[in-house]
Amino acid sequence: MSSTSSAIEVQGLLKSYSNHVAVVGIDLEVKRGEIFALLGPNGAGKTTTVEILEGYRSRDGGSVSVLGVDPANTDVRAWRNRIGIVLQSTKDAADLTVEEAVSHFAGYYSNPRNVDEVITAVGLDEKRKAKGEQLSGGQRRRLDVALGILGNPELLFLDEPTTGFDPEARRAFWELIRQLKNDGTTILMTTHYLDEAEALADRLAVMTDGKILEVSTPTLLGGRARAKARVSWSENGKSNLELTDSPTQFVNQLSARIGGEIQDLSVSRPNLEDIYLEMIGEKV
């Protein structure tokens, strides 16, 4: 089943809890070297899917290959040396300094990265003597990533990586993720931030009710590239909206008709969030 060009291959994945079917026979492929985002509302089945891929949860049916092996039937230590996991919230090593924590966890891997290089890579040089409990939210997240990439993983799982970040910290974190990709790491991430998915992901999947609705690039998802433009303006004290395939032509015609400045003119196409909300059945 496994392909040398694929880091993850899933076919017909099934998982149920009592009377609830959490994952309904999904197919999924993540290519080596790409950043892949898994999107969906709470309860969509994302966490269950990722936990199965990480080897932390059993499945009821289907086939799974992660780095060429089945997470359910593999040597745990050897396989885990090849993956990195950054959970949504951890408090590991809160009483250790950054340097102590990274050095300690390096001992769990057969071929760890250089401790100093890892600390530098995540931007924590100035905080290497600070304890985990003294770090800000963004700094703590960087430490989580340091521990996740310490084993030189071929594949990195990121669960809601920038939850609680301020805008500046999020942008800095994005640069770190891009650098990891440039270094050859395959990344599978879940996120509720659509701008984050658009900024980072090569491809993404939208999941709801245990099913994958579509796999595409951020620019093509849901027919986004073919979506009509929204032209809004004010005229005679009234707000107006027109959906059109030819916004420039429409605005020229509108300007000619009005014979002057068009008040409150706005021209836009649906962003990724608009398309995503439409796909999962929520109003924009």
Cα first-last separation, the chain: 40
Listed in sequence order, the residues at least 6 apart from 31 whose beta carbon sits closer than 8 Å to its beta carbon are: 5, 6, 7, 186, 202, 203
DSSP state at residue 223 = G
**283 has a pLDDT exceeding 50:** no
Q: What's the pLDDT score for residue 33?
A: 95
Mean pLDDT, rounded, for 207-233: 91
Q: What's the pLDDT score for residue 80?
A: 84
Q: What's the pLDDT score for residue 27?
A: 97
Mean pLDDT, rounded, for 242-249: 91
Q: What's the pLDDT score for residue 89?
A: 65
DSSP state at residue 221 = G
Cβ-count burial 113-151 (b if 16+ within 10 Å, e if not): bebeebbebbbbeebbebebeebeebbbbbbbbbbbbbb
Is 219 exposed, middle or buried, given 0-12, 13-18 or 19+ CB atoms closer than 10 A?
exposed
For 4, phi then psi, to 5°, come to -65, -20
Q: What's the pLDDT score for residue 284?
A: 41
Q: What's the pLDDT score for residue 137?
A: 80
List pLDDT tens digits, range 47-73: 999 999 999 899 999 999 999 999 988
List pLDDT tens digits, range 75-119: 777 888 899 998 766 666 778 999 999 999 998 888 888 999 889
Q: What's the pLDDT score for residue 186?
A: 97
pTM, to two decimals: 0.83
**2 has a pLDDT exceeding 60:** no
List pLDDT tens digits, range 159-190: 888 877 778 878 888 888 898 899 899 999 99
Q: What's the pLDDT score for residue 4?
A: 73
Counting residues of the chain whose pLDDT is more than 90, the rounded percentage is 55
Question: Regarding predicted confidence, which is higher, 199 or 226?
Answer: 199
Q: What's the pLDDT score for residue 91?
A: 67
If you write DSSP's letter for every residue of 108-141 in order, what string do you get? T-SSPPPHHHHHHHTT-GGGTTSBGGGS-HHHHH
Give the pair of three-digit tokens for residue 89: 């919230």
Residue-averaged pLDDT of the chain: 89
25 in the Ramachandran plot: left (φ > 0), alpha (ψ -120 to 50) or beta? left
Q: What's the pLDDT score for residue 50?
A: 94
Nearest alpha carbon to residue 58 among 22, 26, 15, 20: 15
Confidence class for position 260, pLDDT limits 50, 70, 90: confident
Provide CATH code, domain 6-222: 3.40.50.300
The helices-and-strands tally (H runs, E runs) of the chain is 9, 12
**3 has a pLDDT exceeding 80:** no
CA distances from 20 to 17, 58, 140, 190 (A): 5, 15, 35, 22
